Amino acid sequence: MSIAIVAALQEELSAVLTLASLQQRGRAVVGGREHFLGLWAGQPVVTVLSRIGKVAAASTATALVTHFQARAIVFTGVAGGLRQGVQVGDVVVAREFLQHDMDASPLFPQHEVPLTGKSRFQTDPALSDALCAAVRQGLPQARLHEGLVISGDRFVSSSAHARTLRDHTPDALAVEMEGAAIAQVCHDFGIPFAAVRTISDRADEAASVDFQRFINTVASPYSAAILGAFMARWPAQR
């Protein structure tokens, strides 16, 4: 029973894998993805690149649960800031997720996942508390937000689109492309899930400018710092 660590971008995965505290023990290819098996703070871990988007993330999460018997999934990545005050370089720990591009209306209310009766999928409170504590410890200088994160299969890079998302879900802190899919899979299987996102852009016209540089210079070291602090504390509490 492993803890699974998932990233959407290769640079972040690499930053986590090079942490000295992670002892690598092997690799396994499942679903076309290379899974890195290891021991971290005495705990078995499996680390994998989901790739980008909801289907990629859902498929990754399903394999982690069914093939690797993951007992919890933690996602680390970047996101576009939506709500006022959620700025580049801030960190968001998701308390719930919603798919902003899910719309089976008029059969079901907008954003509701058909036949679940739900539009919002909660993350695990204890795991998310532990991630927040890890952010405060590993990155004491970063501003931390907690709340709703929305996901969809679009890289949001226009102020008009960002405004529409804000109008539809005023409490959304940030937008990304994977979290809600993993939250739904984890809900279906009853597996605890938590996610942390560093804000890489404001989901506007400037979103793609400096994106890659931000990943390399800020987001990847942030992922390593947060996960390092998380793994040092969380397993011992279980």
How far the first Cα of the chain sits from its last, in Å, is 13
The answer to whether residues 93 and 144 touch, using CB atoms and an 8 Å cutoff, is yes
Q: Which stretch binds ligand SAH (CB under 6 A): 60-68, 109-117, 205-213, 230-238?
A: 205-213
Please report, as residue ranges, which positions from 6 to 45 form the binding site for ligand SAH (by CB under 6 A): 8
Cα separation, 102 vs 109, whole angstroms? 10
Contact status: 156 vs ligand SAH (CB under 6 A): yes
Q: Which stretch binds ligand SAH (CB under 6 A): 102-110, 133-141, 203-211, 221-229?
A: 203-211
Please report, as residue ranges, which positions from 57 to 86 form the binding site for ligand SAH (by CB under 6 A): 77-80
Task: Find how far residue 144's CA is from the centre of its chain.
Answer: 15
Shortest Å, Cβ 151 to ligand SAH: 7
Active-site residue flag, 124: no
Type of residue found at 68? F
| Catalytic residue chosen out of the listed positions 90, 112, 124, 201 | 201
Q: Residue 150: which residues within 8 A CB-CB, separation 6 or more?
A: 82, 97, 98, 99, 100, 165, 169, 172, 174, 175, 176, 180
- Known catalytic residues? 12, 201
**Which residues in this chain contact ligand SAH in the complex, by CB under 6 A?**
8, 52, 77-80, 155-157, 175-178, 200-201, 203, 207-208, 211
